[in-house]
A and B are shown apart, each in its own frame.
Chain A
Amino acid sequence: MELSKLHSPFGKLSDAGVFELHNLIMNNTTRCFRSAFTLMCVLACLTGCEQKQLPDGLVYCSEGNPESFNPQVVTSGTTIDATSHQIYNRLIDDDSIRNDFVPALATSWKVSDDGMTYEFTLREDVKFHTTPFFHPTRKMNADDVVFSFDRIVNSDNPFHNTALRGFPYFESIGFAKLIKSITKLDDYRVRFVLNHPDASFLANLATDFAVVLSKEYAEQLLQQKKPQLLDSQAVGTGPYQLVEYVKNEYIRYLRNPDYWGVQPEATQLVFDITPRSTVRLSKLIVGDCSISALPKAGELPVAREHDELEVDSRPGMNVAYWALNTQKPPFNDIRVRQALAYAIDKRSLLNAVYHDTAVVASGILPPSSWAYPNDATELSYDPQKAKELLASAGVKHLTIDIWAMPVARSYNPNPQKTAELLQADLNAVGIHVNIISFDWSVFTQRLANSDYDSVIIGWSADNSDPDNFFTPLLSCGSVNSHNNWAKWCNKDFDQLLSQAKDITDKEGRKQLYRAAEQIVGEQVPLIPLAYAQRMLLKRKTAPAVTLMPFGGISFDATTAANTSGGQH
């Protein structure tokens, strides 16, 4: 009793006190909020009103980590984008617009009448990059060119075996067997002698893979006993030199002050490595990058809503296809392969995956190639026929694995979705499908080592020569090169290809490639799906980028205005 009496006045007092306190705090907090608000306004003003002083440069949002910094040892487009046209040069370049070869490091070249000897005359004013770890003492000369190609063809070259996975592109075209000798005639002249004539030889030298390395740098590395650095600490002759690479984050290049060609205007080039395409889009919108790679078709409407963005696109030299492992039953049965081709609806695929930005593929060669047969016909969608063919082959309860790439490629913006659509189509004819996927760098490795059924993949041309679509992808010689995913070998087909390489007459070659396409159409080692557009998203303030139908991206002689990245 006493206690409660004592307590209650205290309680009331305390309640009243708390109430006052509350008022006081509330006043204080309003004041606090007000000052915080002012502070935020000031900050916003600092950030928003003031024009950002960005350092000069160009940021390109790329889609993945390069595997190496030397295009000789890879085939992946991501690596080519990051290296070939930025750090290096080739002897000659392939001008896609004029459809002709143009001088690069070589000023002129002569071909002997029998098509077996090629002589190149080199530029005399080309200097390799001067970097903290390498100071060139001489200009580029014939030694460097001989070294760059000797490394590929000569297994005794000390740098031949530092390429752990070999030289996949050169292996797929049988380069080592083609070359008889590479000799230095004098300091600025080089002679290539071939074992047999090859109409695609110049085109192969113009690919992004055939870059020229510094022999002096290689010798320095050999002395330092670090030969494996040749492919990662890159030294080249290109417009930009490599400064820093941080995995998963960025690659930074600086302008090469000694560049022999037209100096690029941007002093700095940064590849912002952003694997997810939605993130690339948002970075482009807020201005963290000025150009962004490989947009998904579904993102184009979003990009169009923003006035400051534009879409760059042109028909690509590529084909997306579904390769069947022809060495594994039941895919060694031609009827099963044909049934699979009839069972899939390419139109709905085009609509869902490419949002109708692509063209249905009728064969391997895309329409942008000069050898494209105008009368090409495609296998129609006919699930009934597919079922009949399967029944005649005696295949029941078929279950197949489809390997689908985890990343967007220029020929296929969404391989996962492609696989899901194929799964649905095949289910309709009674085939059960498992979709298999790994991260990109693991994907190709695992695929190469496994006994897969089929894979959704594709090919982007490296040069304008039609042979580039046939020999690396389907010839007998390429079965073990990890480009012929169908593991298909056909003597008649190979015969046609080598005939087409022996002659230089374009019309004659076109006829031979048409015949080759017909064999592919009948034998169905792979099922062509689509010819995609090459696309880039960019801010309008960003400079024009030359988007070629084939090969890697080039920022040569491109610039970004100072403000391109900063404005909101």
Chain B
Amino acid sequence: MGRYLLRRLNLFIATSLVLIAILFFATRLFPAELNYALSGIALPTSEQQLQIQHDFALDKSTLRQFFAYSAERLSGNFGISVTSQRPVSGELLGVLPASFELAFVAGLLALIVGVPLGVISALSRSKSLQKLIMAVTLTGYSIPVFWLGLLLSLWFGVQLGWLPISGQINLLYQIPKVTGFMLLDTLLFDGTYKWAAFIDALQHIIMPACTLAVLPFTVVVRITRTAMISVMNQTYIRAAEARGLSNTSIILKHALPNALIPLLKHLGLMLGPFASYAIVVEVIFSWPGIGAWLVSGIYQRDYTVIQGGIFAVALVIIFFSILIEVLYTAANPVSRKDMYGTN
């Protein structure tokens, strides 16, 4: 297992290096002066100019420049934002938690609703119920998220006026940032309007989280269903039945854990599309996360923000893909066999 983990770590580092290399070369293609694209300082003083030149080894060979670039970026120096003239790393840390919060709530929602529905549709003998569930998930899978988001906000926000459709919380609540997760922060907040603030934050997250949950939800239902059907046909299930185990215990103890293993694998594969959906959802619902921040940076030709945003998003995806793969291997006894065989 130790060797396997080392290999995964190696994969993580190698992929990150490739990512940095791509960013490094892409930065040179920006239609702006190199030290401006690297640092974000519009009119550097000669002192700053020298500093930038020194930090990024601009007078050395390309290879040295690449190492200097990697060192700067990995140590958290992303330069300053072209538009706000504040450090990009600070802005990045400010927007990341909101994105994690939204992704976490949406993912949780998808699993809590999706897994039971998948199990039901696998075990149900009613053809019409099966078809209904499949039809719903297929529809959900094929609806473009930007359209769905707009439609939902039009219904619930503009026409009915039930739910807030943008932002994280009513801005009159002055919630100090502790974790950056608004739901947690409102609970940690000690003031007279603590619960009102929590409920307000909850209302604000419902629409974006539901919209973002649609894609993973449909995938969860379909994968759970297929996996469940194939597991239920395994002989050990029949053996369990023959021994007279209760139905609930057969499903929850013997069938479901095995059916969840392929689900885990698919969740890992889904991270990329999930992240791009999250960016779209954040923009539609003005969710103050990294997606909305990155898109506004792109519109404003904010080169340092673009680099920092892409770096952070890609790094997070790489990290979680590998984490899920490790979890998958740890949870799946079959894959442990070939752990030493390949890569």
User: Which residues on A are within 8 Å of B, measured CB to CB?
Assistant: 10, 13-14, 17-22, 24-26, 29, 32, 43, 46-47, 52-57, 59, 65, 164, 246-250, 252, 268, 270, 272, 274, 276, 279, 281-283, 285-289, 302, 306, 438-439, 441-442, 565-566, 568
* Contact in complex: B242, A25 (CB < 8 Å): no
B220-253 contacts to A, CB under 8 A, are 232, 237-238, 241-242, 247-248, 250-251
* Contact in complex: A47, B203 (CB < 8 Å): yes
Alpha-carbon separation in the docked complex, A18 to B250 (Å) = 10
Chain B nearest CB, measured from A66 CB (Å): 10
| The one of B157, B163, B172 that contacts A57, using a Cβ cutoff of 8 Å | B172
* Contact in complex: B119, A25 (CB < 8 Å): yes
> Which residues of B have CB within 8 Å of A565?
170, 172
* Contact in complex: B196, A283 (CB < 8 Å): no
> Which residues of B have CB within 8 Å of A26?
120, 124
For residue B165, CB closer than 8 A to chain A, the reply is yes
| The one of A13, A24, A56 that contacts B247, using a Cβ cutoff of 8 Å | A24
Known A13-B241, A21-B123, A22-B124: A441·B300 in contact at CB below 8 Å: yes
* Contact in complex: B166, A279 (CB < 8 Å): yes
Known A17-B241, A21-B251: A282·B153 in contact at CB below 8 Å: yes
Alpha-carbon separation in the docked complex, A344 to B199 (Å) = 53
B148-186 contacts to A, CB under 8 A, are 153, 157-158, 161-167, 170-174
How many contacts between A and B, using CB within 8 angstroms?
137
Alpha-carbon separation in the docked complex, A17 to B173 (Å) = 55
Top 9 A-B pairs, shortest CB-CB distance: A21-B247, A439-B299, A270-B171, A439-B300, A57-B172, A282-B157, A53-B196, A286-B164, A247-B84
Chain B nearest CB, measured from A462 CB (Å): 25
Alpha-carbon separation in the docked complex, A162 to B249 (Å) = 73
Chain B nearest CB, measured from A288 CB (Å): 5
Chain A nearest CB, measured from B196 CB (Å): 5
* 12 pairs, CB–CB < 8 Å, chain A vs chain B: A10-B238, A20-B247, A25-B119, A52-B200, A59-B171, A274-B286, A279-B165, A282-B157, A286-B164, A439-B299, A439-B300, A565-B170
Binds A, one of B101-109, B288-296, B322-330: B288-296
Interface size (B, Cβ < 8 Å)?
53
Known A55-B174, A252-B171, A274-B286: A25·B300 in contact at CB below 8 Å: no
For residue B54, CB closer than 8 A to chain A, the reply is no
* Contact in complex: B120, A285 (CB < 8 Å): no
| The one of A29, A54, A164 that contacts B120, using a Cβ cutoff of 8 Å | A29
B49-95 contacts to A, CB under 8 A, are 81, 83-84, 86, 91, 94
> Which residues of A have CB within 8 Å of B42?
164
> Which residues of B have CB within 8 Å of A248?
288, 292-293, 296
Alpha-carbon separation in the docked complex, A439 to B162 (Å) = 32
* Contact in complex: B161, A306 (CB < 8 Å): yes
* Contact in complex: B167, A283 (CB < 8 Å): yes
Not counting A43-B202, A53-B196, a sample of 7 additional A-B residue pairs whose C-beta atoms are within 8 angstroms of each other reads: A24-B247, A25-B119, A246-B288, A247-B86, A286-B164, A288-B170, A438-B301
For residue B116, CB closer than 8 A to chain A, the reply is yes
Alpha-carbon separation in the docked complex, A460 to B158 (Å) = 31
Alpha-carbon separation in the docked complex, A56 to B157 (Å) = 24
Nearest-neighbor residue (CB-CB) of A281 within chain B:
B158
Alpha-carbon separation in the docked complex, A268 to B173 (Å) = 10
* Contact in complex: B172, A283 (CB < 8 Å): no
Alpha-carbon separation in the docked complex, A249 to B166 (Å) = 11
> Which residues of B have CB within 8 Å of A32?
116
Chain A nearest CB, measured from B63 CB (Å): 33
| The one of A18, A25, A246, A282 that contacts B232, using a Cβ cutoff of 8 Å | A18
For residue B337, CB closer than 8 A to chain A, the reply is no
Known A18-B125, A25-B120, A53-B193: A272·B171 in contact at CB below 8 Å: yes
* Contact in complex: A288, B203 (CB < 8 Å): no
Nearest-neighbor residue (CB-CB) of B237 within chain A:
A14
Residue with the greatest number of chain A CB neighbours at <10 A, chosen from B116, B119, B172, B300: B172
* Contact in complex: B125, A19 (CB < 8 Å): yes
For residue B192, CB closer than 8 A to chain A, the reply is yes
Alpha-carbon separation in the docked complex, A272 to B296 (Å) = 16
> Which residues of B have CB within 8 Å of A57?
172
Chain A nearest CB, measured from B120 CB (Å): 6
Chain A nearest CB, measured from B234 CB (Å): 11
> Which residues of A have CB within 8 Å of B296?
248, 439
> Which residues of B have CB within 8 Å of A279?
165-166, 286
* Contact in complex: A59, B170 (CB < 8 Å): yes
> Which residues of B have CB within 8 Å of A20?
247
Known A14-B237, A439-B301: A29·B116 in contact at CB below 8 Å: yes
* Contact in complex: A252, B174 (CB < 8 Å): yes
For residue B26, CB closer than 8 A to chain A, the reply is no
* Contact in complex: A282, B158 (CB < 8 Å): yes
Interface bits B176-219 vs A (CB < 8 Å: 1, else 0)? 00000000000000001100100110110000000000000000
